Amino acid sequence: MTATVLESGESVSLNGNQHFPMQSVYKLPISMAVLNQVDRGNLKLDQKIRIEASDIVQGSQVLDENSQGKEFSLSELLQYMVSKSDNTACDVLLRLIGEPQRVTEYLSSLGINDIVVANTEKELAQDSTVQYRNSATPDAAVVLLRTLYEGRGLSKTSQALLLQWMTEPQTGLKRIKGLLPEGTVVAHKTGTSSTVNGVTAATNHVGLVTLPSGQHLAIAVFVSNSQATDVIREEVIAKVARAAWDEWSR
């Protein structure tokens, strides 16, 4: 885990330079790469994209088999991917910008070198070992959050849209937000793997927490290859976030 107060630079880290599987946390850098293409004029938020039967990823939260043959705007697909963590939307957007590696290249152009986006959601669903290729260090995840907060690599409009979508999700409420005071504003993205043979490869959460002072805490917690229950894994993330909150809310 890594936590940093962006305005002061105060920071704490444990295994911050170790690579962990991101799971759906990787939808955050993907969304930034897509919005960067919008800012460059290569894509438009209102352009329509048709969902084909071959696009559907099993387990998608919004775009399931009933969505095939329908058209959605790029803006809708982005919102589904970020707010609902929809896997079909994710793969359609990856295809739109070329390939997953384009996201890694975009991150490298921003000086972020320890986040690797290598595979689609469909590939992840077909082989559980693939998830370890899509990795990030907690340190790099916090740098990504800082980059987003400072608006580097994105226009003001794109930055505002993405932060709005990240504040909407109702997933992961027992993680970073779990022990924070009610009403605390958190722009966040979760990532969770399936459990195989009693081991859960990834229970992740990254976010920007608004502190009482108005400063912002960027935090990334990755719980990897754990045999603990869902409740315990999420509680660990909540306790880490609360400890950081207590330390920097004095």
Mind telling me the catalytic residues? 24
Q: Cα(20)–Cα(137) distance, rounded to whole angstroms?
A: 6
82 phi and psi, to 5 degrees?
-80, -50
Whose CA is closest to 192, among 64, 57, 85? 85
State the amino acid at position 180 in one-letter form: L
N- to C-terminal Cα distance for the chain? 21
Pairing of strands 195-196, 71-73: unpaired
CA angle 106, 108, 91 (to 5 degrees): 40
Q: Note whether 29 and 117 are within 8 A (CB).
A: yes
CA angle 142, 10, 106 (to 5 degrees): 25
Q: Supply 174's token pair.
A: 């027992």
